[in-house]
């Protein structure tokens, strides 16, 4: 009976493992096929004159995409991480904390078109301003802050209590423990949340149609960010790559619209992949820097040397 139960459990384990590997492999193949399809169509449609900053070029849309993502992360990353730290380390269990967590989960699941209308009402109409990069960045922050908050909270909560106890035993304060022990220990997971938030920013179109609009006249010789026609101004309208693709596929009448849209889609895909790889590398480098003392101590012990020699 024992052998039969063992064989049955082992067979179930192998079956579950095979199914999970098959599902993971399927999604990897699907992602690879999608990326190859989009990038290959973009390469086939490549024309040098459409890469620049001229009227039909996608250079300005590329710059606007990076600018909007930067503005959004500038607001959402600090607030999201601090909110996640509060929920994980300071919020007391109770009805209020439960309500806050429910609100965070609800915000993270809102349709982007609804958030876009909210951004239009709050960041454009109520401020008596026009559609702009800053309005789009703030609108995307409404989508990103709940995602980063929940990811940071889960990452900090998963750290064993021995980390906290060891830090407190050395006489550190709660904030010092958070900044010097807990956050460095889960920085990779926090970076993962930031990557997910940035990926949503890169591909977002519905929310930005209402808040950033389409680019107007740009004076490329004006580098003053306070001037509304300057390329660096956060108060000017700006179409991102995703909005530009939507416009080309929906309303554009130029004969090369499909060709330009294919190039823009391939460029957007490459931009997202490059950002993900760069953020991963930066996260690993930051983790090694933050935990460098621990790694040095471990290496010294393996070599039989006192730490610091």
Instruction: Give the long-range contacts of residues 166-170, CB within 8 A, separation 24 or more.
Output: none
CA–CA distances in Å: residue 128 to residues 121, 125, 280: 10, 5, 40
With a threshold of 0.85, does the pTM exceed it? no
Q: Is 219 helix (H, G, I), strand (E, B) or coil?
A: strand
- For residues 187 and 183, give the distance between their C-alpha atoms in angstroms, rounded to a whole number: 6
Q: Which secondary structure element, helix H or strand E, spans residue 302, and what is its range?
A: helix 292-302
Q: Which residues in the chain come in under a pLDDT of 70?
A: 1-2, 290-309
CB 204 within 8 A of CB 68: no
Task: Write down the pLDDT at residue 110.
Answer: 84
Task: Write down the pLDDT at residue 306.
Answer: 46
CB 272 within 8 A of CB 204: no
Task: Give 146's contacts (C-beta < 8 A, 6+ positions apart).
Answer: 80, 104, 105, 107, 108
Task: Write down the pLDDT at residue 283.
Answer: 73
How many CB atoms are closer than 10 A to CB 42?
A: 20
Task: Write down the pLDDT at residue 31.
Answer: 86
The partner residues of 230 in beta bridges, in order of sequence, read 219
* Cα-to-chain-centroid distance, residue 93: 29
Q: At what angle do helices 257-290 and 2-44 cross, to 10 degrees?
A: 130
CA–CA distances in Å: residue 27 to residues 22, 24, 36, 194: 9, 5, 14, 22
């Amino acid at each position: 009976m024992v052998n039969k139960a063992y064989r049955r459990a082992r067979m179930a384990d192998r079956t579950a493992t095979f199914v999970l590997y098959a599902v993971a492999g399927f999604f990897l193949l699907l992602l690879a096929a999608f990326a190859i399809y989009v990038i290959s169509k973009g390469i086939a449609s490549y024309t040098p004159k459409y890469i620049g900053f001229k009227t039909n070029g996608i250079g300005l849309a590329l710059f606007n995409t990076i600018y909007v993502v930067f503005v959004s992360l500038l607001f959402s990353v600090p607030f999201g991480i601090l909110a996640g730290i509060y929920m994980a380390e300071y919020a007391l269990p109770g009805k209020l904390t439960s309500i806050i967590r429910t609100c965070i989960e609800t915000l993270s699941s809102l349709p982007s078109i609804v958030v876009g209308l909210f951004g239009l009402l709050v960041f454009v109409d109520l401020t008596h301003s026009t559609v702009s990069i800053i309005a789009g960045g703030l609108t995307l922050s409404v989508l990103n802050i709940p995602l980063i908050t929940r990811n940071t909270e889960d990452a900090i909560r998963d750290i064993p209590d021995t980390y906290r106890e060891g830090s407190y035993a050395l006489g550190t304060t709660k904030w010092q423990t958070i900044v010097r022990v807990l956050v460095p220990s889960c920085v990779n997971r926090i970076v993962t949340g930031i990557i997910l938030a940035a990926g949503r920013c890169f591909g977002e179109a519905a929310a930005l149609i209402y808040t950033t609009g389409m680019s107007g006249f740009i004076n490329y010789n004006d580098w003053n960010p306070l001037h509304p026609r300057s390329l660096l101004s956060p108060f000017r309208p700006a179409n991102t790559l995703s909005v530009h693709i939507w416009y080309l596929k929906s309303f554009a009448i130029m004969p090369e619209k499909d060709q330009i849209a294919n190039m823009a889609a391939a460029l957007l895909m490459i931009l997202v992949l490059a950002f993900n790889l760069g953020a991963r590398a930066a996260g690993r480098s930051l983790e090694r820097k933050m935990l460098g003392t621990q790694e040095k101590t471990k290496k010294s012990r393996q070599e039989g040397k006192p730490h610091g020699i």
